[in-house]
Amino acid sequence: MSPISVLPGLPDPRVAAKGYAHADRLVSTEWLAAHLDHPTLRLLECNEDVLLYSVEHIPGAQQLDWHVDLNDQVERDYIGRDAFQSLLRAKGINEHTTVVFYGDKNNWWATYAFWVFQLYGFDNAVVLDGGRAKWIAEDRPTTTAVPTFPPTAYDAPTRNDGTIRAFIEDTRAHMQAGQPMIDVRSPQEYTGEKLHMPDYPQEGTLRGGHIPGARSVPWARAAAADGSFRSADELRAIYEGELGLTPGDDVVTYCRIGERSSHTWFVLTYLLGFEKVRNYDGSWTEWGNAVRAPIRQGENA
């Protein structure tokens, strides 16, 4: 895990004060406000509600539409190398730029985009602590102007799914080995009471419940009231104190399609310094529909 070194002032002292293992992976709204005009900075706003960007966004931010920009439009998978390369070139991003991800929903989709970029080894990236909501709540400047940047000649490597991504067969083996797994969905989804997030439509899952052995820790427990991440001590109390995890454990996270679980993956990997965390992005829309995939219902794992 290489350090972020392109931009000055990292790690951000306000973030470092929260005691994270890799504080250089987060920046505060104060830090971003002071560096908005830095020529090697690129902001990517990735929201669940893709219409929010056109309403207002941070000056200089470009929209990243997770539906179209990150996902293959035929197969259920992420875009291939050529498409990823073209995406970054068009947005003026290369190995000399630092990308700041942020978005709505306490950065669900920002950490999801960050995770997809990591599949391609794009490591010079950070997340805005508190995301879109915190920036706007502090009455910081916004705009409707859509920026453009000179295209780059970025050369993308081959995608590496083996380190931070778990497929269904990996997850089944993980379950059979009794390795720790975190279900970050709502308690009602975990027990099987609901087949979808509260206040969301049913999205095609045929069975409710959770993967045997998975522990329930809703993703939002990692977020403070203002949408920023809780301190390292508070996070350790949840994941190490309550679950008994240690940074050396092999952990799989999952949710519905991998967006909420990418938030917990980010917490464990960068804020607490866990050494091996994989996000099962197939998550419940795959597992809950798979023939003979074992399911447990109720509160017990």
Q: Which residues are catalytic?
A: 255
Question: C-alpha distances in angstroms, 24 versus 6, 86, 128, 156, 292?
Answer: 11, 27, 11, 23, 43
For the packed helices 259-266 and 108-119, what is the interaxial angle rounded to 10 degrees? 80
Tracing tokens 């990997």 back to the chain, one arrives at 269
* CA atoms of 239 and 266, how far apart (whole Å): 13
Q: Does the CA dihedral 34-35-36-42 come out positive or negative?
A: negative
Cβ-proximal residues to 69 (8 Å cutoff; 6+ apart), any chain: 79, 87
CB-CB contact of 182 with 251 (8 Å): yes
* CA atoms of 132 and 55, how far apart (whole Å): 12
* CA atoms of 107 and 220, how far apart (whole Å): 10
Give the DSSP H or E segment for 251: strand 250-254
Q: Is 141 exposed, middle or buried (0-12, 13-18, 19+ CB in 10 A)?
A: exposed
| Coil/strand/helix, residue 32 | helix
Side-chain half-sphere exposure of 181, counting CA atoms within 13 A: 24
Cα 133 to chain centroid, rounded:
16
Strands ordered across the beta sheet of 41-45: 26-27, 125-128, 98-102, 41-45, 61-63
